[in-house]
Structure 1
């Protein structure tokens, strides 16, 4: 059973079809990027998962159940939808303490969560004076307070400085790859998403347009290409083809399919060929996203 399962989810607001038959899953131990242009239906999907929106049809399940059916929701799901929903007069610690009391969790969880997001030094300060980045960290502390196995994060990098974004990358990788959590993250910062996610789900105008692993999306169904330079390019191209590579040569550059970087390096070593460049080419996630969603790059 998938940790998060969206089944044929549809939701309209008046004449606007916000989500139209979307289906995908998020497995434990993985980070899935949920991508789409503004108004594509991302937030409506996430709010459906959290019981804040009632779908017209289909379902949005966490651990096989609707959010409202969870016995201890804070211990199963951590969510960040916006970083402004705090009482401005409360301190960071008191905000979390109230949640601990309501969820019957030890108050020590509040101190631990603040320490993990780097807010221990401002635990006694009122949220009114917090920057956007500090509020975002407090929202993440709120999400982790019950130590859940599922995280739903909507634009979690908003307001974070470069150091905060670097911290967020490590935080999400730790949750998924070390603690085994399922992380669903919505973001419009594609360059950032590309560095952290395992899988990608892309929607446009409420409909699913592509899903799969990041590697599959970037390769676009084609074999990976390794870019190679050497002063003996013609001779080495023939050698690579004898070893099963498909080689395109232009302007002294060999573009090789069918052989990975390690294989090419070993062949060069055996043949005593000096390589001056060897890199694996990658697709451009942003360009692929624009093509799939029909968006124009500004």
Structure 2
């Protein structure tokens, strides 16, 4: 059973079909990027998953149950939908302390969550004086407080500076890859998403248009390109071409199609050519996204 299951989910608001038969899953230990243009239905999907919107049909389940059926929701699901839902007169610590009391959690979790998101030094300050980035960190602390194994994050990088975005990247990787949590993150910052997610789900106009691993998606049927750097490109290039490689040269860098990394390494070894770099180039998520959603069309 997947940690998050969306099955044939549909929701309309009057004549507008916000979500139309969307299905996908998120497994434990993975980060899934939920992508789409503004108005595509991303937030409606996430709100349905959290019981804030009642779907017209289909299901949205966490650990096999609807959110309203969870006995201890803060201990099963951590969610960030917006960074403005705080009482402005409360301190960061008191905001979390109230949640701990309501959920039956020990008060120490408030201190631990604030430390984890880097807000310990402002724990006693009122939220009304917080910047958007600080509010975003507090929202993430709220998601962490029950130590859940499922996280639903809607535009979590909003308001964060470059250092904050780098911290967020490590934060999500830690949750999924170290703690084994399932992380579903909605974002419009495609360059950032491409650096952290394992899988991608793309919707447009309420409908699912593509899902799969990031590697498969960006490959999009193209021949993989292997980037090779060597001080002796003129010695290596003919050997690669003899073995069926198609090679483009740019100084010490060779871009090779038709041969995989292991084959290229073996040829270089046979030719006694030292390689200082050999990597498979990643595709362009933004290009694929624009093609699939039609956003790049005039």
Q: 1:240·1:264 contact (CA, 8 Å) conserved in 2?
A: no
Change (3 A) 1:251 1:164: closer
Change (3 A) 1:267 1:35: same
Provide, for residues 113-161 of structure 1, a one-character-per-residue CA deviation record: whole Å limited to 9, x for no partner: 0000000000000000000000000000000100001000000000001
Aligned pair 1:257/2:291, yes or no? Answer: no
Specify the alignment match of 2:246 in structure 1: 248
Q: What TM-score does the superposition give when structure 1 sets the normalisation length?
A: 0.93
Specify the alignment match of 2:188 in structure 1: 188
**Superposed displacement of residue 103, structure 1:** 0.4
Q: Distance in 1 between matches of 2:198 and 2:277?
A: 28
Q: Distance in 2 between matches of 1:128 and 1:255?
A: 55
Specify the alignment match of 2:282 in structure 1: 282
Change (3 A) 1:134 1:297: farther
Q: Distance in 2 between matches of 1:276 and 1:297?
A: 40
Q: Distance in 2 between matches of 1:263 and 1:110?
A: 53
In structure 1, the gaps of 5 or more residues are 242-246
Change (3 A) 1:114 1:292: same
Q: What TM-score does the superposition give when structure 2 sets the normalisation length?
A: 0.93
Provide, for residues 254-297 of structure 1, a one-character-per-residue CA deviation record: whole Å limited to 9, x for no partner: 5222421x431232122123668754222110011000000028
Change (3 A) 1:179 1:87: same
Specify the alignment match of 1:127 in structure 2: 127
Specify the alignment match of 1:61 in structure 2: 61
Specify the alignment match of 1:244 in structure 2: none
Q: 1:81·1:155 contact (CA, 8 Å) conserved in 2?
A: yes
Specify the alignment match of 1:23 in structure 2: 23
Q: Distance in 2 between matches of 1:267 and 1:239?
A: 10
Aligned pair 1:232/2:235, yes or no? Answer: yes
Q: 1:76·1:149 contact (CA, 8 Å) conserved in 2?
A: yes
Q: Which 4+ residue blocks in structure 1 deviate beyond 6 angstroms?
A: none
Provide, for residues 12-31 of structure 1, a one-character-per-residue CA deviation record: whole Å limited to 9, x for no partner: 00000000000000000000
In structure 2, the gaps of 5 or more residues are none
